[in-house]
Amino acid sequence: MRKSNNTTRSATDNKTVNGWALVLVGIVFLFDKFGLFRIFGVGIGGFIGMFWPLILIGFGIVSVRQKEINTGIVLLVVGTALQMSQLLRPSFWSMVWPLVLIGIGAFIVMREK
């Protein structure tokens, strides 16, 4: 079976984009090591450490759009919970348990009616 020119060209374009993305990421990390790259006064490592759950949220959105609803919802919920735990003080997890108990109680009350 023979590949068409469009398929070959698309694969080549993807490799080129991925290659340039890796070069760009490498440059950013190199600049960070020299102290030349700061976001809001924080090095790139701290910035990525704070916002890495957005990657899960992004994959969740892509999964939902590709009709993989269950996977997408799990990724969105986990990504959102992890991102909120990074951003909120007091810890998001210290607020989750009371909210879970409230939700379970409300579900039981509504189900009985």
- What pLDDT digit, counting tens, does each position of 1-52 carry? 455 566 666 666 777 877 888 888 788 777 777 777 666 666 767 777 778 8
Domain annotation covers residue 47: no
Is residue 77 located within the same domain as residue 23? no
59 and 20 part of one domain: no
CA atoms within 13 A on the CB side of 97: 3
30 and 82 assigned to the same domain:
no
Is 45 a member of any domain? Answer: no
Residues 36 and 56 reside in one and the same domain = no
Q: Which domain holds residue 106?
A: 52-113
Residues 25 and 60 in one domain: no
Is the pTM for the entire model greater than 0.85? no
Q: Would 110 be classed as within a structural domain?
A: yes
- Find the distance separating the first CA and the last CA of the chain, reported in whole Å: 62
